[in-house]
Amino acid sequence: MLLPVLAASAAPEKGQKTTPAHPQETQTPALVDAAKLRDLLPEPPAGWKAERAETQSSSGDDEIHIRTARRSYYTGPGEKDPTAAVTIIDSTNNADYFDADEEGGWEQESKTEDGYDKRLVLDGMKVIEHYSKEAATGSLSVFVGNRYFVQIELTNDDPAKLYDWLKRIDLAKLAALK
């Protein structure tokens, strides 16, 4: 499951608000250039190969504006060989997704026989971690710089390696992108 994000601006893109309808509203910032996001996708680790990075934009008359950069990684051609995907998402108006302050605070964990779901704070960033034994999949969604989402998905690999993939991304550089 991919998640959305928030931004800070230059010139507005087509369909984005340029003046607030109400004095309390703020402008919807422009999305970051796709090449800047693509450049932050990691190179494959030793023993892995990578597909060509892809970018995609979605904006228009609706209220959702998203730009993504995604790259898939694999270790072999077999169905049981480990695979990974890293997606970086810039969305100009969805920062409140991680603002939900539920009873008991952000950090929560639930476990079942099939896996777990965790919400935690890592170096000041809100994180959602999920693992399913049955599907042999794990995912990590990290909210970076109050604007970006980094989504890491692993299949047929140890879920602890999600954090190894996260370390391969320059999160400080991502947070500073405008």
pLDDT category at 145 given cuts 50, 70, 90 is: confident
* Structure-model confidence comparison of residues 101 and 157, the more confident one: 157
Tally of CA atoms within 13 A in the half-sphere of 80 that contains its CB: 1
Beta bridge partners of 139: 130, 153
What's the pLDDT at 138? 98
Is 3 a residue whose pLDDT tops 80?
Answer: no
Report residue 168 as tokens.
Answer: 């391969």
What's the pLDDT at 16? 43
What's the pLDDT at 83? 98
Task: Using CB atoms within 10 Å of the CB of residue 25, give its burial: 0 to 12 exposed, 13 to 18 middle, 19+ buried.
Answer: exposed
Report residue 151 as tokens.
Answer: 């989504």
Cβ atoms within 10 Å of 118's Cβ, excluding its own: 15
Among candidates 53, 51, 60, 70, which has minimal Cα distance to 28?
Answer: 60
Is 28 a residue whose pLDDT tops 70?
Answer: no
What's the pLDDT at 23? 42
Tell me the per-residue pLDDT of 43-96, one tens digit each, with 9 for 90 and over. Answer: 999 999 999 999 998 866 556 678 999 999 999 999 999 999 999 999 765 656
For the residues 37-46, what does the mean pLDDT come to? Answer: 97
Cβ atoms within 10 Å of 131's Cβ, excluding its own: 21
pLDDT category at 173 given cuts 50, 70, 90 is: very high
Tell me the per-residue pLDDT of 102-143, one tens digit each, with 9 for 90 and over. Answer: 555 788 999 999 999 999 999 999 999 999 999 999 999 999
What's the pLDDT at 66? 86
Is 20 a residue whose pLDDT tops 50?
Answer: no
User: Taking every pair of C-alpha atoms in the chain, what is the biggest distance, in angstroms?
Assistant: 57
Taken in order 17, 92, 175, 95, the sign of the CA dihedral is positive
Among candidates 67, 8, 75, 2, which has minimal Cα distance to 38?
Answer: 67
